[in-house]
Structures are given as structure tokens and as C-alpha cells.
Structure 1
């Protein structure tokens, strides 16, 4: 992995500016690593990995962070790296920590890109997401808003940045029902969004069975490096994916055992122990949620 990096100050709040470091993980491919935290006033929603890829003609931004302020910090990082314009803003899925920064790129010439199912998913959740952000950030949420994609991916789409092509792939329901990956042919880098969690515990919001199945297909991809939606830049591949798959399979197996024993949802969730997710950060916040989501899906098997 290339080690080039530059540090900058991100959005200021209460007179204090947050650092917004960007690493050049491969030539022309820049990544900012989000924090392993819940969205708060202290972090302004800077909890997801975001970044951009520079071509000879223009730039593609991949995910934009959890608030307008984070999107503005990302836009500033783009300007520091290159004078080429942003032509695409690609959202890997619907979750607010990946899309609320879109507002920083609206009003220009950039096309907003997402899975064909993303507009409906965003529209159904926009009010809830915006209320949640206002509660978490207070006044710092001002200006953050949902920007829906205007260029949709039904299956695969190839984008030309000028001498550099990106291949976008839509996946069956897994982490969500609108997951999209971005493959940079020039560097062999696969940007996975939240189809891969590294260090931070995976969060099921689509289909646990679907996610396990998509994971098996992703494992077959021949890539030089991967960028997860959360976690380290270019974690070991496919070891990072295998760790996630083991966790998801463990949750599915424990829920199936509870169902076979006639356990109710409440009994199953109450018996779920975050210690079973040993090694994953934020397990206390998400393990029981994952058990709940798995129960709701698997009880209909």
C-alpha cells in the first residue's frame, strides 16, 4: 500500500477543528478513515470511510460522510489533491454516515450515482435520518440533507474518469438492499462500502443470508486491495472478509438454534451476549440488533 498522506483540518465546532487526514492508498486513490464511534457532536458524523479517485479528466468521490461539514472537509481534500473537477459522487448504499455529505457537492456539474434501488430507500428513510442527525448533532446538522442519485446502476456501470475506468456493481440484498461496489481498474482496488466491516462490528440492515452469500461471491474477486466501509485501509484480503463471514454465520446459527428450540424473539435477544462478538468494536451497541434482524428474517425459513 502506498504511504503518501496529507493532514488537514476538518470542520470547526466550538472553535476547535477536527483533523481530516487523507491517505493515498494507491496512486490517485485517496481514503479518509472514519472513527469507530456513533455519530455525535464531537465527531460530526465522521464515522465512515470516504474518499476519491483522480483520473486524467475528473474525479469520482466515493461516499461523503455523515454531515455537510464532513462533506465539505472531503471536498477541500479533493481541491488540495487536484484541480480536476468532481464529475461523479458515488454512494455505496443508503446509510446516513455515507450520504449526508452529498450536500457539499450539490449544485455543481457532478452526477450523483447509486444503485437503482437507492432513491426509493432514501426517500422512505429521509425524514427519519434527518431527525436522527439533528438529534445527534444539534446545530452542527444544519445544511445536511439527502441528495438522491440521478445516475442509477441496475447491474453494472463503467465510468470513465479520463484514462481511468471504474466498474460499479450492484449486489443482491446483503448489508442493505442497495449495496454498490466500485472497482478501480488502474490500481486493482475494490471499494466495498459496508459490504465489508473491519474492526467495527457488522450491522445487518438487509438480509443476513444474502450478506453471507454475497460475501462468498466477493471472496472470489481478484483484487490488489480492498477499502471497507469501516475499518483499516486495505486490510488483509480475504482474511478480513472471512472474519466478517464467520461472525454473520455465527449469528445465523445461534438464531436458528433458538428458533428450533421454540424461543421467542425477546428470549432470543435477551440471551444474546455481546461477548459472543468478541474482538468486534461497538458489539454492545449492535450485536443484539443483529440478532433481532436475523430472527425477523430466519423465522420464515
Structure 2
């Protein structure tokens, strides 16, 4: 990815924009070593390893850091650990025990119908502390909302923020705790306020291009948050379609019957339906969401086949 000319990243920082199945990867390189922040989805693991090897040019991979443990941000961890056995993997502290015991339900992989190969954690990214990645010091800030345990990383000297899914140029990630019946929209707002106080000049989001209009992004995110708070079932429907689209990105193509079977077998969809849309039968609800994806251009339908667009 080429960073826009009007934006400046710290020396040694490269952003690889990877599309929506795999999160963006941030590479930090120095004369002696390399570090990587977030590693994409497991189906792209070979590409992840190759990209890191190309950037390293023989230097050791010192650290893997994860902003949070959704499968599209840490799915390449295991492959990188196998290729770079001396690297250390740092994760937010909230789910460290679930990683050590490897609980795919607690880590949300099973409930969302996704997969993440087992990886180890060697340390934590403690909010309120700093972490040195390949010679650059980054402040660690708690960023609950999209994920209760997420952190963001801030390089104060250059005012560069690795925002993960707490802030995109046009919004933020699905607020999963809200789907589970816990109040978390307030946490999204508090995280946006925290980002505003940091006053970053450049933001590296978890998905999408690097951007510098932080005030505009915060305004758009707050507008979206207001809309979701006013109409939480709108957020719930959006979340269900995001999970469906993610699976289509992985599969690329599926028969309608097979895709519907996956939806019905994935606990998150049943939970969202029962909590927010119980007044509609399950099958018509699923059909309506899939039809919405087709109408919006996010998917296509030909005969009994559904495909990613």
C-alpha cells in the first residue's frame, strides 16, 4: 500500500492494506529486527508469512502484536510463530487465559462460525503502559466497544494511531457485546472520546486506507453510533450481514442451501435472531438478509449459487 503523500508515518513503519477478510498489517522495521501488528485471517497465512519474509530481508521477527483477537486480526499468528520460532507474541490481557487454555468458544471463533489456528501468547499489551516494537515506542490504550478487550497503539512523537477496528475512516466495527445483550455502545463513545484526546494526525485502521482527517472520521463514527443507539435492531441486522459477508469472502462461492445450513448452524445468528427478530420466522429472516446482500451488490446470485462480489 502507498501512504497518501499528505500523511507521514514513522520511519520504518509500512502498512499493508489487505482487504476485508484479513485485517491490515503494520510492519515496523529497524536495522536489526522487525515487528508486525495484526496478522490477518488464517486462509491468508501463506501470504502473511511471505509478506513478512519479504519485509524482513533476513532480519529476525522479534514480535507479533495483536490489537484484539478476532480471527481476521490474529489468524496468521500460528503460521508466523512456526516460521519465526524466536518471536514473541503480545496480546491484550483480557483473553490471555482463553488463549493459554485455547478456548475457541470464549475467543468467539466457534460462535461466529470462523476459524483460527491455535497460537501461543508470550506476553500482554497492558493498557497504560508502552511497548517497544522494533525500536519504536507505542503507548497502549484500552479501546473497548467493537471488542471488549481491544487496544489501540499510539506513537506519540509522530502522532500516529493504530486504531484497529475502534475507528475507521467511515465508522467502526460491529459492537459484539451489544449483540450478546450487554450494553457496549457507551464504551464505543468513550473510546472515540479517548482517540480525540490523543489528537492523532495519522490513523492506521484495521481495515481500509490510512487517513488523516481524524475529526471527520470521528464525526462520522459518532453519527453512526447515534443511529445504532436510536435503533439497535438496525445494528443487529447489520452485524448479521457482516458475518454473512465475511463467510462469503472466505468461501467466494456457495450453494444457497449450503450457505443457509452454515447460518443455521452458527450460534451467533440464532442468538441475534432470538434477541432482536423473534417476531420473524428464522428462515424468512435469513432469506431477507441474504437478499439485502445481493441488492446492495455485496453478493451475487445465479441459480442456486451465491457468490462474493
TM-score bin (small chain)? 0.5 to 0.7
Which deviates further from its counterpart, 190-199 or 70-79? 70-79
Using the TM superposition, give the Cα deviation of residue 145 of structure 1 relative to its aligned residue in structure 2, in angstroms: 0.5
Q: Tell me, yes or no, if the aligned pair for 2:70 and 2:108 is still in contact at 8 Å.
A: no
Query: Where do residues 1-301 of structure 1 align in structure 2 (5 Å cutoff)?
Result: 3=3, 26-36=10-20, 46-67=21-42, 69-82=43-56, 83-107=58-82, 108-120=85-97, 122=99, 123-125=102-104, 129=109, 132-133=113-114, 145-161=117-133, 163-171=135-143, 173-185=144-156, 187-199=158-170, 202-206=173-177, 207-255=184-232
- When normalised by structure 1's length, the TM-score is 0.65
CA 1:283 to 1:164, structure 2 compared with 1: closer, same or farther past 3 Å? closer
Q: Looking at secondary structure, tell me which structure has more strand per residue.
A: 1
Q: Distance in 1 between matches of 2:222 and 2:28?
A: 28
Which deviates further from its counterpart, 96-105 or 191-200? 191-200
Q: Distance in 1 between matches of 2:242 and 2:169?
A: 12
Per-residue CA distance 1:98-118 (angstroms, 9 max, x = gap): 111101221411111111112
Q: Which runs of 5+ in 1 are unaligned?
A: 5-23, 37-45, 135-143, 256-267, 297-301
Q: Which runs of 5+ in 2 are unaligned?
A: 178-183, 247-268, 277-309
Q: Distance in 2 between matches of 1:232 and 1:54?
A: 20
CA 1:191 to 1:3, structure 2 compared with 1: closer, same or farther past 3 Å? closer
Q: Tell me, yes or no, if the aligned pair for 1:114 and 1:151 is still in contact at 8 Å.
A: yes
Q: Distance in 1 between matches of 2:127 and 2:72?
A: 24
- When normalised by structure 2's length, the TM-score is 0.64
Q: Distance in 1 between matches of 2:220 and 2:244?
A: 18
Q: Distance in 2 between matches of 1:191 and 1:248?
A: 21
CA RMSD of aligned residues (A): 3.8
Using the TM superposition, give the Cα deviation of residue 240 of structure 1 relative to its aligned residue in structure 2, in angstroms: 1.4
Q: Looking at secondary structure, tell me which structure has more helix per residue.
A: 2
4+ runs deviating over 4 angstroms: 1-4, 271-274, 281-286
Q: Tell me, yes or no, if the aligned pair for 1:194 and 1:228 is still in contact at 8 Å.
A: yes
CA 1:95 to 1:282, structure 2 compared with 1: closer, same or farther past 3 Å? closer
